[in-house]
């Protein structure tokens, strides 16, 4: 397969190098920013790539919604298959790209957009054809997993863990998208679209790791529990989609607890297959490029879609999922939550709630925070 | 896709029920033993299935090499795709079936033969097209994992653990193929064939779990270690294939240690992707059937092979892989092994060896056992 690439950053360089090494693959042209086109295969306009009759597939690894969307749309209209690692793009424009691909008789795959090297969406797209997917989820942000693991196994506080994640290149200078859970949320949006043919776009419950303190970590470690930031998605019997991100406390023998450093873990539960758990590098030049190359191989075998052209946008509804929650907050606010058990810890209260709908718990904590209360909460299961 | 099925046992019933439920799939005919053909879709001869022009793919879930091989060969010659869950068949006759499939322009896939629901061979076959596979392996026998987990987390002795595995239907009345490691070995043979296009057929190093005692378990648990039966495969720089099965002691935070009960864990290391770990149910009616159905879906997308028709049989060479080994044996034989550290435990010695080639260690223990010594040994890493 002859492939052109949009973008020559971290992942782009990896894709180009893998294309040159892989049997049956050929690198055609690479789109770089004007002024950066210093090698024969580099070009500065999408028009050159669309006009290249040899190019059969276009890989987009630029990031961001625009101009990635315009460029990939042009490539699809020109009859090129499209492969992308860009989760923001697929979360925002996936259904439009799926339609364009279908109309033009070409493929549109985006495994690398969710879980890096972890072959999550690929396997989910295959499983959904013969099995009913009961739930999707896992650990889909390596930066926060690295930070939580550093706080727990190495006794760092939040600031130290973030600083090291930044020094190692895992976290951006502005780490908001990671630590707030937004990055993980985009990935669960894609997983829901693949599993349920519905792309949730609003109504999410989103809690990152910004509220966890070293004292919290010491407390739940003393109970033998491990903290992970988990994403969850599912569909109710009547077709409503749940999609949420929240910290979770897990038994130390759980598979989630064995996901160390910046690794990712994706999980789906099939009615027939049972739980399928996939672990690997969620980011990085070659891991992400390897997922792009697998999608390209998959195109050569004839696979054309991961998201159907009929995929519709829906609002998430997190009222039908319930969890028990571990909570730490000021003692004066303890009555605001339905604790099943609690204990005083100086000026604080720590405890575990009754089972509460996910959306309700997130809303209650939001209200408490708006009134000035500092709250940490985490679901008591995966 | 219109599918006929050979065999109507545990997995066969699951495949038929999933075929009836899956969109785009249709159950045609099912081969059962003479006298058992009590429903219209059941037939008693492979000829009827080969003669059925509507049948596009044949699923073999009978087990055993014959008559499965003759039947599947006939189906391939009749121009039907072949999918099987039969590891003994693929280990014995995979290259012949791959050649027949290629000659007849049809597909031959066998994901379900290795890891049950775990999509190992499927992902390996895809990865190998664009990445170099540095190693393959994992926990590929659920029965022995259930037994080891029961001995470790529930304090059972070997006999109790085996009895419970048999009561739950995980172990056969004759459990030899599981506890000796032979079942796991067949699976690593298939993984090597997919990863390296070489099917190792002899020269294996094979150690099961038959020598582990409750006292051994207590001893290594006191050191914070967890025992698993691991299979390993790889290729040296000069093209030699290693393939072995042996108990391994792992840190309790390793992914292997989180594989509980009768679950399987498959793993490959890609030069670009890094470690990819896949966990799920390794056996059972619907988990195994789900892998068969995914292969059938994969055929509809155009994938045709998992093992190439050029796959050649080779002898394994386990002399280029080395491990440090934990060993327990009679104190009188302690000098027969290159211990780096050891301690006396009554009449026994327990210790850890220097790094030793895998084939050499297995041969030394075999010689000790032939001289009447009782030995337990396990590699000190995965």
Cβ contact, residue pair A22, B130, below 8 Å: yes
Q: Measure the CA–CA gap between A27 and A21, rounded to whole angstroms.
A: 10
Report pTM.
0.96
Token reading at B154: 């529930």
Q: Which segment of A110-114, A300-304, A310-314, B206-210 scores lowest on mean pLDDT?
A: A300-304
Tell me how close the Cα of B99 comes to any Cα of chain A, in angstroms.
Answer: 19
3-state secondary structure of B117: coil
What are the φ/ψ torsions at residue A341 (nearest 5 degrees)?
A: -150, 145
Q: How far is CA A58 from the centre of its chain?
A: 22
Is the predicted pLDDT of residue A173 greater than 80, yes or no? yes
> In the predicted model, what is the mean pLDDT of chain A?
96
pLDDT per residue as tens digits for the range A69-94: 999 999 999 999 999 999 999 999 99
Best of A116, A130, A132, A299 to mutate (most B CBs within 10 Å, chain B): A130
Q: Measure the CA–CA gap between B19 and B4, rounded to whole angstroms.
A: 10
pLDDT score for A42: 86
Which secondary structure element, helix H or strand E, spans residue A77, and what is its range? helix A68-77
Is the predicted pLDDT of residue B265 greater than 70, yes or no? yes
> Could you write out the DSSP letters of every residue in A348-374?
EEEEEEEEEEHHHHHHHHHHHHHTT--
Q: Are B253 and B164 in contact (CB under 8 A)?
A: no
Residue found by looking up tokens 């130290």 in the block: A160
Q: CB B363: neighbour CB atoms within 10 A?
A: 14
Q: Which residues contact A12 (CB under 8 A, 6 or more apart)?
A: A5, A6, A30, A61, A62
What percent of chain A shows pLDDT beyond 70? 100
Q: B330 exposed, middle or buried (CB, 10 Å; 0-12, 13-18, 19+)?
A: middle
Please state the rounded mean pLDDT for residues A82-110. Answer: 97
Q: Measure the CA–CA gap between B324 and B360, rounded to whole angstroms.
A: 12
Please state the rounded mean pLDDT for residues B10-30. Answer: 96
Please state the rounded mean pLDDT for residues A308-315. Answer: 97
Q: B185 exposed, middle or buried (CB, 10 Å; 0-12, 13-18, 19+)?
A: buried
Q: Which residues contact B375 (CB under 8 A, 6 or more apart)?
A: B211, B327, B328, B329, B333, B365, B368, B369
SS3 sequence, B262-295? Answer: CEEEEEEEECCCEEEEEEEECCCHHHHHHHHHHH
Q: Measure the CA–CA gap between A123 and A134, rounded to whole angstroms.
A: 15
* Structural domains for chain B: 2-109 (3.40.50.720), 131-281 (3.30.360.10), 322-379 (no CATH)
B-chain CB neighbours of A122 within 8 Å are 123, 126
Q: How far is CA B1 from the centre of its chain?
A: 28
pLDDT score for A382: 60
Best of A254, A259, A266, A301 to mutate (most B CBs within 10 Å, chain B): A301
Q: Measure the CA–CA gap between A63 and B230, rounded to whole angstroms.
A: 40
Cβ contact, residue pair A276, B279, below 8 Å: yes
Helix axis angle, A87-103 to A182-196, nearest 10°: 30
3-state secondary structure of B102: helix
Cβ contact, residue pair A119, B123, below 8 Å: yes
The reply to whether A187 belongs to the active site is: yes
Angle among Cα A27, A115, A276 to the nearest 5 degrees reads: 120
Of A24, A130, A260, Cβ closest to residue B294: A130
Question: Nearest residue on chain A to B288, judged by CA atoms?
Answer: A273
Please state the rounded mean pLDDT for residues B30-58. Answer: 90
What are the φ/ψ torsions at residue A322 (nearest 5 degrees)?
A: -125, 150
Best of A24, A107, A142, A258 to mutate (most B CBs within 10 Å, chain B): A258
CA separation, residue A220 to residues A148, A189, A325, A377, B255 (Å): 13, 30, 12, 12, 21
pLDDT per residue as tens digits for the range A317-331: 999 999 999 999 999
What percent of chain B shows pLDDT beyond 90? 93
pLDDT score for B98: 98
Q: Measure the CA–CA gap between A328 and A101, rounded to whole angstroms.
A: 49
Tell me how close the Cα of B379 comes to any Cα of chain A, in angstroms.
Answer: 20
pLDDT per residue as tens digits for the range A15-40: 999 999 999 999 999 999 888 778 88
Q: CB B52: neighbour CB atoms within 10 A?
A: 17
Is the predicted pLDDT of residue B37 greater than 90, yes or no? no
Of B153, B280, B301, Cβ closest to residue A302: B301
Cβ contact, residue pair B280, A279, below 8 Å: no
pLDDT per residue as tens digits for the range B142-167: 999 999 999 999 999 999 999 999 99
Q: Are A97 and A65 in contact (CB under 8 A)?
A: no
Is the predicted pLDDT of residue A157 greater than 70, yes or no? yes
Q: Which segment of A253-257, B212-216, B327-331 scores lowest on mean pLDDT?
A: A253-257
Q: How far is CA B320 from the centre of its chain?
A: 22
Given the residues A29, A80, A87, A187, select the one marked as catalytic: A187
CA separation, residue A297 to residues A123, A278, A345, B303 (Å): 14, 20, 56, 10
Please state the rounded mean pLDDT for residues B116-123. Answer: 97
Q: How far is CA A275 from the centre of its chain?
A: 19
Tell me how close the Cα of B24 comes to any Cα of chain A, in angstroms.
Answer: 9
pLDDT score for B59: 98
Tell me how close the Cα of A58 comes to any Cα of chain B, in angstroms.
Answer: 17
> Could you write out the DSSP letters of every residue in A171-224?
S-SS-HHHHTSHHHHHHHHHHHHHHHSEEEEE--EE--STT--HHHHHHHHTTT
Please give the DSSP secondary-structure letter assigned to residue A345.
E
Tell me how close the Cα of A381 comes to any Cα of chain B, in angstroms.
Answer: 16
Question: Nearest residue on chain A to B16, judged by CA atoms?
Answer: A130
Q: Measure the CA–CA gap between B192 and B177, rounded to whole angstroms.
A: 20
Is the predicted pLDDT of residue A141 greater than 90, yes or no? yes
Token reading at B335: 């000098």
Is the predicted pLDDT of residue A47 greater than 90, yes or no? yes
Pairing of strands B205-206, B339-345: unpaired
B-chain CB neighbours of A123 within 8 Å are 119, 122-123
Tell me how close the Cα of A177 comes to any Cα of chain B, in angstroms.
Answer: 24
Is the predicted pLDDT of residue B382 greater than 70, yes or no? no
Number of CB pairs < 8 Å for A and B? 164
Q: Rounded to a whole number, what is the distance in angstroms from the first to the last CA of chain B? A: 41
Q: Measure the CA–CA gap between B364 and B381, rounded to whole angstroms.
A: 19
Please state the rounded mean pLDDT for residues A124-136. Answer: 97
Q: How far is CA B337 from the centre of its chain?
A: 30
Q: Measure the CA–CA gap between B260 and B252, rounded to whole angstroms.
A: 12
Best of A21, A273, A308 to mutate (most B CBs within 10 Å, chain B): A273
Cβ contact, residue pair B129, A281, below 8 Å: no
When pLDDT is cut at 50, 70 and 90, the band that residue B189 belongs to is very high
Q: Where are the alpha helices (DSSP H) in chain B?
A: 10-21, 46-51, 68-77, 87-103, 120-127, 142-153, 158-167, 176-179, 182-196, 214-221, 285-301, 358-370
Cβ contact, residue pair B287, A273, below 8 Å: yes
Residue whose C-alpha is closest to residue B382's, from B261, B246, B262: B246
Of A253, A293, A303, Cβ closest to residue B260: A253
The CA R_g of chain A, rounded to the nearest whole Å, is 22
Question: Nearest residue on chain A to B281, judged by CA atoms?
Answer: A274
Q: CB A372: neighbour CB atoms within 10 A?
A: 8
Q: Which residues contact B41 (CB under 8 A, 6 or more apart)?
A: B27, B28, B29, B30
Angle among Cα B185, B276, B12 to the nearest 5 degrees reads: 55
B-chain CB neighbours of A18 within 8 Å are 130-131, 272
Token reading at A155: 């006794």
Is the predicted pLDDT of residue B313 greater than 90, yes or no? yes
Q: Is the dihedral of CA B264, B109, A134, A245 positive or negative?
A: positive
Given the residues B80, B187, B198, B267, select the one marked as catalytic: B187
Please state the rounded mean pLDDT for residues B58-62. Answer: 97
3-state secondary structure of B105: coil
Q: Measure the CA–CA gap between B72 and B60, rounded to whole angstroms.
A: 7
């Amino acid at each position: 397969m002859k492939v052109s690439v949009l973008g020559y950053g971290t992942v782009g360089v990896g894709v180009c190098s893998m294309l040159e090494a892989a049997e049956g693959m050929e690198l055609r042209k690479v789109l770089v920013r004007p002024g950066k086109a210093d090698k024969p295969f580099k070009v500065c306009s999408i028009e050159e790539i669309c006009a290249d009759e040899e190019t059969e597939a276009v890989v987009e690894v630029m990031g961001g919604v625009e101009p990635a969307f315009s460029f990939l749309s042009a490539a699809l209209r020109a009859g090129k298959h499209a492969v992308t690692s860009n989760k923001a793009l697929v979360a925002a424009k996936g259904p439009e790209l799926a339609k364009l691909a279908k109309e033009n008789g070409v493929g549109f795959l985006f495994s690398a957009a969710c879980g890096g090297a972890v072959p999550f969406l690929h396997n989910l797209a295959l499983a959904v054809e013969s099995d009913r997917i009961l739930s999707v989820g896992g650990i889909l942000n390596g930066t926060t997993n690295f930070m939580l693991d550093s706080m727990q196994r190495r006794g760092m506080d939040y600031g130290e863990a973030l600083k090291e994640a930044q020094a190692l290149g895992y976290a951006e200078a502005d780490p908001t998208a990671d630590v707030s859970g937004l990055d993980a949320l985009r990935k669960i949006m894609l997983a829901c679209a693949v599993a349920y043919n519905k792309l949730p776009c609003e109504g999410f419950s989103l809690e990152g790791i910004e509220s966890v303190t070293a004292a919290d970590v010491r407390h739940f470690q003393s109970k033998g529990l491990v903290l992970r930031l988990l994403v969850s998605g599912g569909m109710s019997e009547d077709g409503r989609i749940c999609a949420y991100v929240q910290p979770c406390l897990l038994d130390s023998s759980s598979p989630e607890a064995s996901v160390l450093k910046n690794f990712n873990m994706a999980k789906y539960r099939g009615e027939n297959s049972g739980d399928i758990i996939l672990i690997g590098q969620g980011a990085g030049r070659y891991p992400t490029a390897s997922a792009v190359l697998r999608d390209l191989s998959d195109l050569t075998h004839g696979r054309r879609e991961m998201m159907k052209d009929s995929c519709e946008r829906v609002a998430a509804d997190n009222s039908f999922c319930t969890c028990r929650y571990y909570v730490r907050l000021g003692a004066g606010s303890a009555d605001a939550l339905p604790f099943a058990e609690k204990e005083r810890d100086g000026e604080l209260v720590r405890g575990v709630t009754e089972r509460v709908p996910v959306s309700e718990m997130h809303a209650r904590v939001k209200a408490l925070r708006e009134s000035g209360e500092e709250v940490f909460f985490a679901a008591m299961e995966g």
